[in-house]
C-alpha cells in the first residue's frame, strides 16, 4: 500500500480553478493474506448503551484503571503473536528530577543485530489525550525489522502533567485558575446581511477593520511574555530530563502532535544539537496573528485593515467568527470540564463516547472506500483497526486519561487564545532562531497536516518555504496525510506510519 499526493500534473481542471486530488494506491505490496475468519467492521451505534456507561464510569473510580487500560491497549494493538516475535514491549515511569517527578512511557524495541547502534523515535501527544491516543501507531515498530544497519526503539510518552506522568505545577505565581483575557480589540464588520461574506478556507473572514489600544496591548504583552517563557521551560525541560534519564544522547526522531507538537518544536529550537529529525503532526499555534506577544507592528489607536495572510500580525485568525458564548466557555467552562466529568457519572461517559466514537470509526469508511481490508492491510496487526473492541477501548482510555484532571487544563488557556492560536507563535520561534544563527540548526524538519485539517496549514507551508531559503543544508518538508483531519494519525494510520517509516529509511542512507 502506498499513499501519494498528486500535484500539478495530476490536477483536475474546473474552469479557471485547480483542485488538488489526494489518493493512495491500494495495492497490497506485502505477502499478507487476509484470514478467512476476518469480518468486515460494520457501522455500529454512535453511542454506548447506558448499562455499559455505568460500568465504565464505575471502573474509572479505581485508582489504577488508566494503567490497566494502557496495558490492555498494548496487548490489543501489538499482541503476542508470531508476527510480533522479537518485539520487546515495556511500560514504565522514568523519574526525571530530584523532586520525584516522572514521565510515563510505553516503549517498543526491535534488535536487528547485537552490535548495531540504536535509533530512537519519540512520540508526544496533544492536549486532551495521553500516549494511548497513538495506539494505532504502536505497530510501526514492526516495519523497522527490515533495517540491517540499526536497532530501533520507539517511545510513546505521556507529556508532563498528562496521563500517568506526574502532574507538577508551573513555578510562576502569576498563573492561577482565573485565566486573564487577551488584549482588548474592536472589530468592524459592515457586512450586508443579505450578502454575507464568504469564509476563506472555512474558518477565516476578512472584515473591514480592527482597532487595538496601544497601552492595553503593551500591558498584555508584558504580562504574558514571562509566563510563556516559564511555560516553555517547564515542558521542554521535562522532555530533556526524560532524555537524560533514558541515557539517549540524541533523539533521532522527535514526533509531536498538536499541543505536543508545539513543545516538540520549541524543544528542538532550544536544543538543536539533541535531535536529528523533527516531525510535527498538525501543530497548534504555528501561525502569526494580531494577538501574538511577538507582534512588533506599530500599535496605534487607528483602525487597521486586516488581511488573511497567517504569517503577518494583521491576521485576525478566527476572531471574526467567534461568538461571545464560545469565548465565555473558553475561559469559564472548558478548562474545568475534565475534572467535572466524573461527577456527571454515566451521563458524562455517554457524552464523551458520543463525541469520540464517530471519530475513531471513520477508519472503516476509509478502508471500504479504498478496496477493503484485503487491499489495505499489510499485517495481522491491522486486523484490529476499526473493530468495536478497539474503538471502545481507545475511547475508554481517553476518558480515563483526562478525567483525573491536569494542570495543563489551565496552562493551555494561557498559551492559546479563544481562537485556538498561540500567543507566542511557533512561526516566530523558528524565524527568530534561524535569523539569529542558522548554522546552529542541524536537524531536519518535517511538517504534516491532515488533508481536512482545521489547523492553519497555509502558515506551515509558508514556514517550510521560508526555512528552505535560510538553511540549504537541511531537509525541510511539508506534506499532508490523505483523508486525515487534525487527528491525522488516528484517521489514517496507514499513511502516517508509512511516511514516518520512509523518513527513517531515508535517514539511514545519509548515515
What pLDDT, in 10s, does the model give residues 65-86?
999 999 999 999 999 998 899 9
User: Does 307 reside within a domain?
Assistant: no
Give tens-digit pLDDT for 203-261. Answer: 999 999 999 999 999 999 999 999 999 999 999 999 999 999 999 999 999 999 999 99
pLDDT of residue 383: 94
What is the model's pLDDT at position 35? 87
pLDDT given at position 14: 34
The residue range of the domain holding 142 is 2-177+224-285+345-510
Q: Report the half-sphere exposure of 18 (CA within 13 A, side-chain side).
A: 8
Estimate to the nearest angstrom the gap between the alpha carbon of 272 and the chain centroid. Answer: 21
Q: pLDDT tens, 257-307?
A: 999 999 999 999 999 999 999 999 999 999 999 999 999 999 999 999 999
Q: Dig out the grid coordinates for 404 from the structure.
A: 483525573
Tens-digit pLDDT profile for residues 348-365 = 999 999 999 999 999 999
Q: What is the pLDDT of residue 30?
A: 58
Mean pLDDT across the stretch 195-206?
Answer: 88
Locus of grid cell 474545568: 336
In angstroms, the Cα distances linking 484 to 28, 94, 101, 136, 384 are 20, 33, 35, 14, 19
Residue 400 falls inside a structural domain: yes
Q: Is residue 327 part of a domain?
A: no
Taken in order 121, 101, 66, 90, is the CA torsion positive or negative? Answer: positive
Answer yes or no: is pLDDT of 60 > 90: yes
Q: Percentage of the chain surpassing pLDDT 70?
A: 93
> Which pLDDT score is estimated for 22?
56
Q: CB of 335 within 8 A of CB of 407?
A: no
Given a contact cutoff of 8 angstroms between Cβ atoms, the answer to whether 147 and 508 are in contact is yes
pLDDT > 90 in the chain, percent: 83
In a domain, 291, yes or no: no
Q: How confident is the model at residue 46 (pLDDT cuts 50, 70, 90)?
A: confident
Please state, in angstroms and rounded to a whole number, the distance separating the CA atoms of residues 320 and 59: 43
In this structure, what DSSP letter does residue 455 have? S
User: What's the CATH code of the domain at 167?
Assistant: 3.40.50.1820
Identify the band that residue 41 occupies on the pLDDT scale cut at 50, 70 and 90: confident
Residue 269 inside a domain? The answer is yes
Q: How many structural domains compose the chain?
A: 1
Instruction: Decide: helix, strand or coil at residue 106.
Output: strand
Backbone angles phi, psi at 278, to 5 degrees: -110, 125
The pLDDT value recorded for residue 109 is 98
Rounded CA gap, 121 and 130, in Å? 17
Q: Is the pLDDT of residue 455 over 60?
A: yes
User: Would you call 41 exposed, middle or buried from its count of C-beta atoms within 10 A (0-12, 13-18, 19+)?
Assistant: buried
Under the banding of pLDDT at 50, 70 and 90, the label for residue 20 is very low
Please give the Cα distance from 254 to 506 (Å, whole number): 16
Q: Which residues, other chains included, contact 308 with Cβ-Cβ below 8 Å and sequence gap of 6+?
A: 200, 204, 206, 315
Q: Does residue 358 fall inside a structural domain?
A: yes
Measure the CA–CA gap between 47 and 65, rounded to whole angstroms. Answer: 22
Q: What angle do CA 509, 510, 511 make, to 5 degrees?
A: 95
User: Is residue 505 domain-resident?
Assistant: yes
More confident residue, 3 or 458: 458
Q: Quick one: how far is CA 408 from the chain centroid?
A: 15
Inside any domain, residue 337: no
Amino acid at each position: 500500500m502506498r499513499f501519494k499526493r498528486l500535484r500539478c500534473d495530476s490536477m483536475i481542471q474546473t474552469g479557471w480553478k485547480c483542485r488538488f486530488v489526494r489518493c493512495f494506491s491500494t495495492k497490497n505490496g506485502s505477502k499478507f493474506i487476509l484470514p478467512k475468519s476476518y469480518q468486515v467492521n460494520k457501522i455500529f451505534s454512535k453511542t454506548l448503551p447506558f448499562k455499559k456507561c455505568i460500568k465504565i464510569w464505575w471502573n474509572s473510580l479505581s485508582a489504577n484503571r488508566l494503567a490497566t487500560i494502557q496495558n490492555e491497549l498494548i496487548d490489543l494493538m501489538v499482541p503476542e503473536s508470531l508476527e510480533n516475535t522479537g518485539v520487546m514491549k515495556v511500560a514504565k515511569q522514568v523519574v526525571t528530577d530530584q523532586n520525584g517527578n516522572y514521565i510515563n512511557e510505553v516503549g517498543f524495541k526491535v534488535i536487528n543485530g547485537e552490535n548495531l547502534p540504536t535509533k530512537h523515535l519519540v512520540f508526544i501527544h496533544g492536549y486532551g489525550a495521553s500516549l494511548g491516543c497513538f495506539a494505532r501507531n504502536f505497530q510501526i515498530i514492526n516495519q523497522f525489522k527490515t533495517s540491517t544497519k540499526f536497532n530501533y526503539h520507539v517511545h510513546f510518552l505521556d507529556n508532563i502533567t498528562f496521563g500517568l506522568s506526574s502532574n507538577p505545577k508551573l513555578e510562576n505565581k502569576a498563573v492561577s485558575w482565573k485565566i486573564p483575557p487577551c488584549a482588548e480589540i474592536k472589530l468592524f464588520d459592515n457586512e450586508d446581511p443579505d450578502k454575507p461574506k464568504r469564509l476563506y478556507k472555512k474558518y477565516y473572514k476578512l472584515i473591514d477593520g480592527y482597532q487595538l489600544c496601544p497601552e492595553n496591548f503593551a500591558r498584555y504583552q508584558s504580562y504574558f511574555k514571562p509566563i510563556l517563557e516559564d511555560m516553555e521551560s517547564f515542558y521542554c525541560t521535562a522532555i530533556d530530563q526524560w532524555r537524560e534519564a533514558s541515557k539517549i544522547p540524541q533523539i533521532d526522531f522527535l514526533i509531536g502532535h498538536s499541543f505536543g507538537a508545539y513543545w516538540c518544536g520549541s524543544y528542538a529550537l532550544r536544543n538543536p544539537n539533541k535531535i536529528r529529525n523533527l516531525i510535527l503532526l498538525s501543530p497548534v499555534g504555528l501561525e502569526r496573528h494580531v494577538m501574538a506577544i511577538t507582534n512588533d507592528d506599530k500599535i496605534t489607536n487607528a483602525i487597521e485593515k486586516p488581511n488573511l495572510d497567517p504569517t503577518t500580525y494583521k491576521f485576525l485568525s478566527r476572531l471574526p467568527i467567534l461568538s461571545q458564548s464560545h469565548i465565555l466557555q473558553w475561559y469559564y467552562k472548558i478548562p474545568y470540564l475534565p475534572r467535572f466529568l466524573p461527577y456527571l457519572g454515566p451521563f458524562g461517559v455517554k457524552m464523551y463516547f458520543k463525541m469520540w466514537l464517530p471519530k475513531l470509526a471513520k477508519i472503516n469508511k476509509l478502508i471500504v472506500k479504498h478496496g477493503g481490508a484485503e487491499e489495505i492491510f499489510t499485517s495481522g496487526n491491522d486486523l484490529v483497526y476499526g473493530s468495536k473492541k478497539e474503538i471502545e477501548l481507545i475511547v475508554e482510555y481517553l476518558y480515563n486519561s483526562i478525567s483525573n484532571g491536569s494542570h495543563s487544563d489551565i496552562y493551555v488557556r494561557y498559551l492559546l487564545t479563544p481562537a485556538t492560536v498561540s500567543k507566542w507563535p511557533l512561526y516566530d520561534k523558528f524565524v527568530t532562531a534561524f535569523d539569529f544563527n542558522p548554522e546552529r540548526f542541524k536537524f531536519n524538519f518535517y511538517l504534516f497536516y491532515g488533508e481536512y485539517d482545521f489547523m492553519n496549514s497555509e502558515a506551515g507551508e509558508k514556514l517550510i518555504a521560508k526555512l528552505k531559503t535560510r538553511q540549504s543544508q537541511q531537509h525541510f518538508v511539508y506534506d499532508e496525510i490523505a483523508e486525515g483531519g487534525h487527528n491525522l494519525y488516528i484517521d489514517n494510520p496507514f499513511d502516517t506510519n508509512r511516511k514516518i517509516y520512509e523518513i527513517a529509511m531515508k535517514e539511514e542512507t545519509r548515515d
